[in-house]
Structure 1
Amino acid sequence: MKKQIFVTGFFLFSFMLPFKATAASFTGINIFGDSLVDTGNLFNVVGIPPSPPYAQGRFSNGSIWVDNLAEQLNLTPTLLTELGSTLPTEGINFAFGGATVTGDNNSSPPGLQQQIGFFKNITTIAPADPNALYILWAGANDYNGLFFNTPTIPPDLLPNQVTSNLSMGVQSLFDLGARNFLIPNLPDLGETPLARNLNEFFPSASSQLSALTAAHNSLLDQKLDSLRVLPGINITTLDVNSLVMDAINNPMEFGFTNAQNPCLINFKSGFMFEGVCENPDNFLFWDDIHPTAASHALISKLAIKTLNEEEPASVPEPASALGLLAFGALGAGAMVKRKKKKEVAIKQH
């Protein structure tokens, strides 16, 4: 079957004393994952998603949560596809819409393993910044893809493979020098407009996706817990699943009047739709799987709150300047001029 692109300063003492730190202490942000954190890489390479109505390469109608988080931290990570002659000092966004966790290292768009490979190449030029924040969010495309592609992994084994690869990704980044990680779990994929549409062709799609999400989140917690024994590592988990379920069950409390349907009217696979809703801020979903900017604002607020509640422990070193070697694998043709990002304040609810 034809593959569909979804877019969706501390000193380390020998006794490892943690300290209370705020999110503002991070010196950069490096981002790995799929469309939920891609701020323009896929768009720069292939022009997806269409803009407008999508906002400047984001899979939403405005700023997404990593935009808002970076703004709150007074940091500006550079897109991988916009690296130029000046080495970025505040991190790189390696994420690509459509990325998977279980794909091979030659996948297109680049999957999680390939993205981490790009970062590894960069560390041969400049070391990883231990005081930066490293965000990994992926997996949804692996599960949704079961209904669009011929599975290479049995569905019941997929959560273990996805979470194992995510865990190995954290381990790989740690081995390269990363210390501070923010890892969101997955929202219930069975509660998306996509899942409800799939029910017309696969009657158990919603329930199967919900079960896969639950297994994923449980296994992810277990595997991240096993990594917390690594010296100096700080892993913060972000419970996006609970946030989204609260918004679905109590939409008015979050400022939504519609938590079931996409803002893009009669949205179909391939970015086909018949119009745009009058007020996107009233909707939880922008298309059949991606959040609106208003929903992303809620996620970014949760991220700041959660980070400020954690107690990271890391080794302070000068912030690293990140290089250009990783992008060579994508080809110079994908290089484009950096677009000015629209600044959108975090919406208060």
Structure 2
Amino acid sequence: MRSNSPRGIFLAALLTCTLWFSTWAAAGEAELSRIVVFGDSLTDPGNAFVLTHQVSAPPYQLIPDFPYARGGHHFSNGKTWVEQLARRLDMSDSACPALRARGRCSNYAVGGARARPGTPFDLSSQVAMFRSDFASLAKDEAFYVVHIGGNDLRDAIEALASDRSGAATMAIIEDALGAIATNIATLAAAGGREFLVVNAPNLALAPALRLQGPQAQGAAQFVSVAFNDTLASVLAGLEASLPVTIHRFDLFALVNAAVAAPAAFGLTVVDATCITPGVIVHAECTHPDSYLFWDGIHPTRAAHAILARRVRDILGVLPFDD
């Protein structure tokens, strides 16, 4: 029987982890010299382009299938927040696309990836690839970033439209959270100690959802809150039971704040996209750094920069090798 309670998801991950508990070595605090990223388009530094060699160019889609030709093959008009963060931490050399330089780069995020299993480059696949590429790495020297789940939530919103009972939606959320918990446990069992997990933004505020009207926005907010509330409980349980530190960043709150008071973040347009879908001429806005959203669901480079600064602020003093 499926259990979608936080306790059920956490216990499943804990059971997996205890099978490996005897392999853990007591470790002191190591210098963090490498950033390792697992995620989707919000942290993809170019892996999707490596896989497909296809790009989005005018006429644009509201929600792109491929990264953009401009901006370095990102799902934005420039570098993602995690790449900008890595530069601040002097870890840019490891934040590059892992699929372009296996064994050197350790950002495994791929646009379109899901947390739950059964999809290409899902979270478990990304973690398995990392463990294969860096089998000899002292895992406690890496700083692990897990920012995934947005595409699972898009699937959950679609499921809610066809199954009003919410059972299919909650099953998707449960599977995504279970994958996140299990993979953090896997990395912890291998020696990982320092983690950063970013929750889901308020998808109801994305332009693509705004265009669908209040009912779609209501579903999007419900799904975002359900995911984030349970994620918080799961992470608390993992941190209480494993020898890890899990830093959290509340992206949901940040997006809400930016929409409520854009001027405080140096933004002016928070409810529309910089790109104009379906046209070739004047397909991009003149001042993208004043926009929160580049397209229907992805932030601009400037919005990524805001996130990078806020994440660096909450990390505090860590033993980074810089």
- What aligned pairs does 1:1-349 form with structure 2 within 5 A after superposition? 26-50=32-56, 53-75=69-91, 76-77=93-94, 78-83=96-101, 87-88=103-104, 92-104=106-118, 107-108=119-120, 110-123=121-134, 125-146=135-156, 154-199=168-213, 204-266=215-277, 275-308=283-316
Residue 195 of structure 1, CA deviation: 0.9
| Alpha-carbon distance in structure 2 between the residues aligned to 1:147 and 1:211 | 9
| Contact 1:190–1:205 (CA under 8 A) maintained in structure 2 | yes
TM-score, length of structure 2 as denominator length: 0.79
**Which stretch has the larger CA shift, 189-198 or 289-298?**
189-198
Asked whether the equivalents of residues 41 and 95 of structure 1 are also in contact (C-alpha less than 8 Å), the reply is: yes
Distance 1:209 1:69 in 2: 28
Q: Tell me the SS of whatever aligns to 1:264.
A: coil
Residue by residue over 1:145-183, the C-alpha shift from the partner in whole angstroms, topping out at 9 and shown as x without a partner, is 346688997013332322221111111111122111000
Q: Hey, which bits of structure 1, 4+ residues long, moved more than 6 A?
A: 149-153
Gap runs ≥5 in structure 2:
1-23, 58-67
Percentage identity across paired residues of the two chains = 27
Q: CA deviation at 1:274?
A: 6.3
- 1:273 and 1:30, CA in 2 relative to 1: closer, same or farther beyond 3 A? farther
- Does the 8 Å CA contact 1:267/1:273 hold for their aligned counterparts? no
1:44–1:57 Cα contact (<8 Å) kept: no
- The CA deviation string for residues 3-32 of structure 1, in whole angstroms up to 9 with x for no partner, is xxxxxxxxx998x99x9x9xxx52100000
Contact 2:76 2:294 in 1 (8 A): yes
Structure 2: how far apart are the matches of 1:27 and 1:213? 33
Structure 2 Cα separation of the partners of residues 183 and 251 of structure 1: 25
Rounded to whole Å, the distance in 2 between the matches of 1:171 and 1:273 is: 49
Equivalenced residue count is 282
Kindly provide the amino acid, as one letter, of the partner of residue 129 in structure 1: K
Q: 2: CA distance between counterparts of 1:245 and 1:215?
A: 16
Cross-structure match for 1:334: none
- Name the amino acid aligned to 1:224: L
For 1:120, the aligned partner's letter is R
8 Å CA contact 1:64–1:296 kept in 2: the answer is yes
**1:163-219, CA deviations, whole angstroms, 9 ceiling, x for partnerless residues?**
2211111111111221110001111011101112333xxx62111110111111111
Contact 2:207 2:271 in 1 (8 A): yes
Q: Deviations over 1:30-71 (max 9, x none)?
A: 000100010000011113443655411111111211111111
Q: Please provide the CA RMSD for this pair.
A: 3.0
Distance 1:42 1:241 in 2: 25
The residue matched to 1:134 in structure 2 has which SS?
A: strand
Residues 247 and 132 (structure 1 numbering): CA distance in 2 closer, same or farther, change over 3 Å? same
Q: Distance in 2 between matches of 1:156 and 1:211?
A: 11
Q: For residue 177 of structure 1, give the secondary structure of its aligned residue in structure 2.
A: coil
**1:289/1:171 Cα in 2 relative to 1: closer, same or farther (>3 Å)?**
same
Alignment TM-score, normalising by the size of structure 1: 0.73
Match of 2:11? none
Greater helix proportion: 2
Higher RCO (C-alpha under 8 Å, 6+ residues apart): 1
- Secondary structure at the counterpart of residue 204 of structure 1: helix
Confirm or deny: 8 A CA contact 1:159 1:219 kept in the other structure.
no
